[in-house]
Every structure is written in structure tokens, then in C-alpha cells.
Amino acid sequence: MVGIWNDFQRHVFWKIGDGKNTNFWLDNWVPNRSELLPSASQNFIDTTISVRDVLNAEGDWNLSFLSENFPTNIVNHVVALPTPIDADGPDVMGWEGTNTHQFTVQSAYRLQHGDINALEGELNSLWDWKGPHPIQTFIWLAAQERILTNFRRSKWGVGISPLCSRCGREDETTIHVLWDCAYATQVWLRLVPSRFITDFFTFHCRDWIFNNLGKRGICATTKNWKTIFMTSCWFLWTWRNKSIFENDFHQPNKPCHGDPKLY
Ligand SMILES: [Zn+2]
């Protein structure tokens, strides 16, 4: 399944609208290329910028930025694309295997020849969820280990520590933020029914996420588990960000006793 998933990621494609929700360096948005990061000519880059951020004040591609960061052939490739504009609406995540960029099982099968039923089930379990879209997108990125943890940032930025900024004990990977860090574990220990605790913690991030969105085990016996799980992951990430960016932020003492509407 891991191989299929990696192949699958390569075919996820962002169709640019206003350019605001597509990561300039990390998302696959330039047709016929993968992400732009491997083509960078500088050592230090800001991996948080959106495609929209790479326009100048007139709304054209920022040529000096592009020339500083890429060889000429890549610059030419980018400037040949229409610039993002508000009139085109939000960016849309789609699937390269079809002309319409919609996800279809047939196109996935053509590209992968793998266990598509499992893949389809996993994706549906995520996209069928009726909660807030930002949480859905966050879980999607987390399953691909693409959230900007310190570990991920340290690979591209000079002088960035890979360590968890909260416990300082281990590299801050996706799985570390979402359950392995003591701050996260204490949340899950209160939420996960005791008979599922041993099975709950598993080291493969994508498997861990989709196991908690499916129909078996904890999901089958615990009411609204998918919502509890996705929302909790989202809060753990939000609290992590607040603890870094807001000096006076403290994670709630009773994180599981918040607004009942969220659960
Ligand atoms: Zn930690």
C-alpha cells in the first residue's frame, strides 16, 4: 500500500485559481513537473509561501524572485503559465489522471494497477466527512507527512532544529506532533477507549490516520470517532503552532472537555 500511496501522491495536482492555497515549493502545480523544491538553486528557501506570493505588485510573475531561485528553463516554464487571479476562484486539488482533474477509480487504476479498492475506501473516508474543510485538508496533508514540522523544515532550511519545540526530546515529525509527544499522548489517553489503547499507537503515519477514519475497530464501536479523531489532530497541531507563535499560550489543562459541539 505504501508504494501505491507514494505513486498516488505524484498524481495529485493543484489547478491554480487565486493561488492562495497552493504551496509554491511543495505542491504539484506546474503541469508536467513534480514539486518545484528539487529545482531550487538556493540553499535557504521559505517553504511556507503560496503561489500567489510569487507575484509582483502589478500581479505578474515576480521575475527577479524566479531568476534568483531557479535555472532559466524552470523560470520559462513558470512564466508561461497564467498568473493566479481572484476571478478564477480558489485553487482546486485534483487528479492528473483525467482531463477534468476529478478523482476517479478508473484513472487511479490506469496509473497504479494496485489495490485500488483499499485506496478508494481510504480517500472516501476522508472526503466524505462533513466537518470543516480546513480540518479535512490538514488530515490529508498529515497523512502524506507534508505538514511543516520542524523535522521537515530542517531538511531545507539552514540552522533549523529538527527537534520538537515543546518537549525538546525527539525530532518533530508528523507522528511526533500528533501522538508521540507527551503533550499529544496525554490527550489520546483520555479519548481512546482503554481496550483500544495498545492498537491505537502505530508508527506509520498514514496507516495510523486511515485506521482511525475507517469502519473497523475503534471506529465501529465509538460514536463519532472519525470526528473526534480528526478534530483532535487538528487541535494538537493548532496548539503546537500557538505554543510557538504566541508567548502566553498554554495548552488547555483539560483538552478533552472543550466545546461539546466540536465532538
Ligand atoms: Zn515533543
**What is the pLDDT averaged over residues 182-201?**
90
> In Å, what is the CA distance from 149 to each residue of 93, 187, 211, 234?
22, 19, 22, 14
Q: Indicate the domain borders of the chain.
A: 2-111, 131-262
Between CA 224 and CA 91 the distance in angstroms is 30
Task: Please say if the pLDDT value at position 165 is more than 80.
Answer: yes
- What share of the chain has pLDDT > 90, as a percent? 29
Helix (H) or strand (E) holding 15: strand 12-15
What is the distance in A from the centroid of ligand 1 to the CA of 148? 15
How much is the pLDDT for 115?
A: 52
How much is the pLDDT for 175?
A: 93
How much is the pLDDT for 119?
A: 64
What is the distance in A from the centroid of ligand 1 to the CA of 36? 30
What is the distance in A from the centroid of ligand 1 to the CA of 165? 7
What is the distance in A from the centroid of ligand 1 to the CA of 249? 16
- What share of the chain has pLDDT > 70, as a percent? 78
What is the distance in A from the centroid of ligand 1 to the CA of 187? 13
Task: Please say if the pLDDT value at position 19 is more than 80.
Answer: yes
Helix (H) or strand (E) holding 134: helix 133-143
What is the distance in A from the centroid of ligand 1 to the CA of 111? 38
User: Confidence class of residue 226 from pLDDT cuts 50, 70 and 90?
Assistant: very high
**What is the pLDDT averaged over residues 228-247?**
89
Contact criterion met (CB below 8 Å) for 207 and 227? no
**What is the pLDDT averaged over residues 72-82?**
87
- Residue partners of 140: CB distance under 8 A and separation at least 6: 126
Higher-scoring residue by pLDDT: 9, 17: 17
What is the distance in A from the centroid of ligand 1 to the CA of 167? 4
Nearest to 177 by CA among 151, 140, 159, 157: 151
What is the distance in A from the centroid of ligand 1 to the CA of 175? 10
Task: Enumerate long-range contacts of 200-206, CB under 8 Å, 24 or more apart.
Answer: 203/175, 204/2, 205/142, 205/143, 205/145, 205/173, 205/174, 205/175, 205/178, 206/2, 206/5, 206/143, 206/144, 206/145
Q: Kindly report the average pLDDT of the chain as a whole number.
A: 80
Between CA 188 and CA 178 the distance in angstroms is 9
Query: Hey, is 95 helix, strand or coil?
Result: strand
Contact criterion met (CB below 8 Å) for 129 and 227? yes
Contact criterion met (CB below 8 Å) for 81 and 16? yes
What is the distance in A from the centroid of ligand 1 to the CA of 7? 30
What is the distance in A from the centroid of ligand 1 to the CA of 70? 35
Task: Please say if the pLDDT value at position 96 is more than 80.
Answer: no
User: Which of 48-57, 76-85, 109-118 shows the lowest per-residue confidence on average (mean pLDDT)?
Assistant: 109-118
How much is the pLDDT for 77?
A: 85
